[in-house]
């Protein structure tokens, strides 16, 4: 089985092919980089409009190569030419994300599914961030920490759904970091710059806000901005920011492991590329005898590979969607998804 995945919820115009037989994933991405400020929805949508056809063509031509290797009957390499399609289904990010971007990607996915005469699979982007960790670690039933740009969730499976055990009460974790870096005049995305600067900084105290399993970032950001405005070296503010935010995420992840009795933790999302976050989670897991896994960076930041991999699981479980029912949902929550691909597990 080969599945084409298309991702375009915010900044990454991305297409991928997941080949289930070899468990290999080809990903082609083109990032939107704002000239100034943060992600502008209209500009991001224009980027999707320009970049999606190219990344899809690269992924499809990879699929055709795989098909030619496996099937000598693949003589004509043009989509819709009458030869067998090089993929079995088209999976796309249905949400959450920026509406104008989602609509462009969904239109491309519907057109491709129609042209190639293959089914369409609508994927929840946050569940994809989670499932790629479970897939690459081969974990049975982990707690998942999604630390991405626009979101931050703790999730665990129970009775057919991924339950949200805890989440941000205001902004996503990456967006919070990006707001701080915009304030100090650094270009988007801010996360890697904070990570680099923090290495030269001294920790400074910032508000630490955890309420049960939920957490908040907005007060920390205001305090970090105010500290820099008052003369704290930006490197020190970055060190304080990282330690505080990541300690909060580590605390709630530990609480989720304790609450659920699980002993596996997976990390998902672009902020998961941060070495310090991974090290803190790893230390916490080791101390309580749990196993920690973070997928490789290409699967952490937004990417179509995770959409194709989850698309394959959904397709195998018969979870396809008719074109007329494939509307996007900018607020699509992970706990709205019926997790049919896990069979009858009822953990």
- Contact residues: ligand ATP, CB under 6 A: 9-11, 97, 125, 148-151, 172, 174-175, 177-178, 189-192, 195, 269-271, 273-274, 301-302
- Between 11 and 26, CB nearer to ligand ATP: 11
Work out how close the CB of 150 gets to ligand ATP at its nearest, in angstroms, rounded to a whole number: 4
3-class DSSP state of 14: strand
- b/e per residue, 11-45, with b = 16+ CB within 10 A? bbbbbbbbbbeeeebbbbbbebebeeebbeeeebb
CB of 177 to ligand ATP, least distance (A): 5
**Which residue number has the CB closest to ligand ATP?**
149
* Spatial separation of the C-alpha atoms in residues 309 and 17, rounded to whole Å: 8
Distance in angstroms (rounded) separating the CA atoms of residues 277 and 273: 8
Residue 70 CB, nearest distance to ligand ATP (Å)?
32
Alpha-carbon separation of residue 184 from 4, 197, 227 (angstroms): 40, 12, 11
Q: Shortest gap between Cβ of 233 and ligand ATP (angstroms)?
A: 19
Whose Cβ is closer to ligand ATP: residue 274's or residue 320's? 274
Q: Least distance (Å) from ligand ATP to the CB of residue 129?
A: 6
The β-bridge relationship of strands 2-7 and 89-95 is: parallel
Collapsing DSSP states into helix, strand and coil, what is residue 90? strand
Q: Closer CB to ligand ATP, residue 77 or residue 251? A: 251
CB of 174 to ligand ATP, least distance (A): 2
Nearer to ligand ATP, 148 or 320 (CB): 148
CB 217 within 8 A of CB 180: no
Residues paired with 154 in a beta bridge: 145, 166
């Amino acid at each position: 089985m080969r599945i084409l995945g298309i991702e375009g919820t915010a900044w990454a115009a991305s297409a991928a092919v997941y080949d289930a037989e070899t468990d290999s994933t080809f990903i082609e991405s083109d990032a939107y980089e704002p000239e100034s400020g943060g992600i502008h929805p209209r500009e991001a949508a224009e980027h999707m409009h320009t970049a999606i056809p190219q990344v899809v063509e690269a992924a499809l031509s990879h699929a055709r190569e795989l098909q030619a290797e496996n099937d000598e009957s693949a003589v004509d390499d043009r989509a819709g030419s009458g030869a067998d399609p090089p993929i079995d289904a088209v999976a796309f990010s249905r949400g959450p994300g920026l509406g104008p971007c989602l609509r462009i990607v969904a239109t491309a996915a519907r057109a491709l599914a129609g042209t190639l005469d293959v089914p369409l699979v609508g994927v929840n982007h946050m569940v994809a961030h989670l499932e790629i960790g479970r897939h690459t670690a081969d974990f049975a039933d982990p707690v998942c920490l999604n630390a991405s740009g626009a979101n931050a969730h703790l999730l665990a499976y129970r009775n057919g759904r991924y339950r949200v055990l805890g989440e941000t009460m205001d902004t996503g974790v990456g967006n919070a970091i990006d707001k701080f870096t915009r304030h100090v005049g650094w270009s988007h995305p801010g996360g890697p710059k904070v990570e680099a600067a923090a290495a030269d900084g001294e920790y400074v105290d910032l508000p630490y806000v955890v309420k049960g399993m939920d957490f908040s970032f907005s007060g920390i950001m205001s305090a970090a901005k105010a500290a820099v405005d008052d003369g704290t070296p930006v490197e020190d503010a970055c060190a304080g920011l990282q330690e505080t935010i990541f300690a909060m995420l580590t605390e709630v992840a530990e609480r989720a492991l304790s609450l659920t009795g699980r002993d596996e933790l997976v990390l998902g999302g672009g902020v998961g590329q941060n070495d310090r976050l991974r090290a803190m989670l790893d230390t916490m897991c080791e101390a309580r005898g749990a196993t920690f896994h973070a997928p490789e960076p290409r699967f952490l930041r937004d990417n179509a590979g995770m959409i194709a991999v989850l698309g394959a699981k959904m397709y195998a479980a018969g979870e396809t969607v008719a074109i007329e029912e494939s509307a996007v949902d900018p607020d699509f929550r992970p706990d709205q998804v019926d997790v049919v691909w896990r069979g009858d597990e009822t953990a």
